[in-house]
Chains A and B, each alone.
Chain A
Amino acid sequence: DAMVIQNPRYQVTQFGKPVTLSCSQTLNHNVMYWYQQKSSQAPKLLFHYYDKDFNNEADTPDNFQSRRPNTSFCFLDIRSPGLGDAAMYLCATSRLLQGYEQYFGPGTRLTVT
């Protein structure tokens, strides 16, 4: 089945230690998104790629970076995780930019100790 895959599902990192979360898709979608979701809150968009074009949300901290080496893969790098970065990180894809539904992966739950 075509799908969005996120690895790992659970990640523990230390305060200030860089961490990378990965996302892959077999849907061949143009657009890939990264969301942060904290407990009992709605997902918050961090950034998205339309093909190779990177689009950062205005309020996304510089601590968060992303890479998309090819259509299938996208990475979220947190350069110096703080305790406030503990959250569920969701990757999503969509076929085109306008009005198409987004398909989400299962998420990576990040714990910062």
Chain B
Amino acid sequence: AQKVTQAQTEISVVEKEDVTLDCVYETRDTTYYLFWYKQPPSGELVFLIRRNSFDEQNEISGRYSWNFQKSTSSFNFTITASQVVDSAVYFCALSEADKAAGNKLTFGGGTRVLVKP
């Protein structure tokens, strides 16, 4: 069975600080997909990134960067120079390649990030 663990339930930082969100996953599949979603107070889940299990290249998008390490089953997310608008709950998620699984997302428990001015 799949499992995603986000050990940090809440992180509070002051604006312009960097913040790293941890995500550790468990799966028996060799092919799988990892995702990060942002859920601001408005409630809508916003897709941030998708990563395939066979692509360990790290990625940077503006102030966001992701570090994928299969050896430690981790897919961590860093926000550089945080801003108040980054305040949200961030979810890490995993889906299997098995079509029968229906692209079901297994979510971590989420990490609430509070950026103070």
Inter-subunit contact B102/A55 (CB<8 Å): yes
A51 to B7 CA separation, bound complex (whole angstroms): 36
> Closest CB-CB distance, B37 to chain A, in whole Å?
8
A103 to B46 CA separation, bound complex (whole angstroms): 7
B91 an interface residue at 8 Å Cβ cutoff? yes
A88 to B108 CA separation, bound complex (whole angstroms): 17
B25 an interface residue at 8 Å Cβ cutoff? no
A48 to B95 CA separation, bound complex (whole angstroms): 14
Inter-subunit contact B99/A97 (CB<8 Å): yes
A81 an interface residue at 8 Å Cβ cutoff? no
A99 to B42 CA separation, bound complex (whole angstroms): 26
Residue of chain A at shortest CB distance from B4: A42
A12-20, A63-71, A72-80, A105-113: which lies at the interface: A105-113
A interface, how many residues as a size bin? 20 to 34
Inter-subunit contact A104/B45 (CB<8 Å): yes
Inter-subunit contact A42/B46 (CB<8 Å): no
A37 to B76 CA separation, bound complex (whole angstroms): 24
Residue of chain A at shortest CB distance from B33: A99
- Given A42-B91, A97-B103, the answer on whether A102 and B47 have CB atoms closer than 8 Å is yes
A21 to B3 CA separation, bound complex (whole angstroms): 30
B residues bordering A, Cβ < 8 Å? 33, 35, 37, 42-47, 50, 52, 91, 95, 97-99, 102-105, 107-110
13 A–B pairs (Cβ distance < 8 Å), ordered by A: A31-B102, A42-B108, A43-B45, A43-B91, A45-B105, A88-B43, A98-B103, A99-B50, A99-B97, A99-B103, A104-B45, A107-B44, A109-B43
